[in-house]
Amino acid sequence: MGVPQFWRLQSQNYRLVGEVCKHCGNKIFPPRDVCPECYEPAYEPYALSGRGEVYSFTTVYNAPEGYSEYAPYAVALIKLAEGPLVTAQLTDISPDEVEIGMPVEMVTRKIREFGEDGVIVYGYKFRKPLVQPV
């Protein structure tokens, strides 16, 4: 990942900032130029809550280069409270404990080390909430 791309994606990677369509109200993540529901322009930034539930998941045993220190780990499709689906690694939980429908919250964590210099790349992962929703 180059420096320009890093800065351009920072709000998406650290705060889950997407967009909301002014025409139909659809919440969009990641941001797009056009709403996938009504096909109208959607440029209004929208900060997603980071809360949701596991929609589907799998366990990675043979991790790609740069991720082997985490193996085995769960990767899940998260349905956010606002509606969008997000793919992310689950953290602070054993893959055996993951269940469909389990509530989760976004956290910022180390994703991997990048390049020969070992630059640490941070981004979002999801975990079980520390305080269970009521």
Domain identity same for 121 and 99? yes
List the domain range (segments joined by +) for residue 1. Answer: 1-48
Rg (CA), the chain: 16
Domain identity same for 24 and 37? yes
Rounded distance, CA 10 to CA 126, Å? Answer: 17
pLDDT digits (tens, 9 = 90+) for 66-109: 788 888 999 999 999 999 999 999 999 999 999 999 999 999 88
DSSP per-residue string spanning 12-81: HHHH-EEEE-TTT--EESS--SB-TTT-SB--EEEE---EEEEEEEEEESSPPTT-GGG-SEEEEEEEET
Domain identity same for 18 and 76? no
76 near 98, Cβ under 8 Å?
A: yes
Domain identity same for 33 and 56? no
Domain identity same for 37 and 80? no
pLDDT digits (tens, 9 = 90+) for 82-93: 999 999 999 999
Split into its structural domains, the chain has a count of 2
Rounded distance, CA 62 to CA 82, Å? Answer: 33
Domain identity same for 43 and 11? yes
Confidence category of residue 120, pLDDT binned at 50, 70, 90: confident
Element (H, E) at 132: none
CATH number at residue 79: 2.40.50
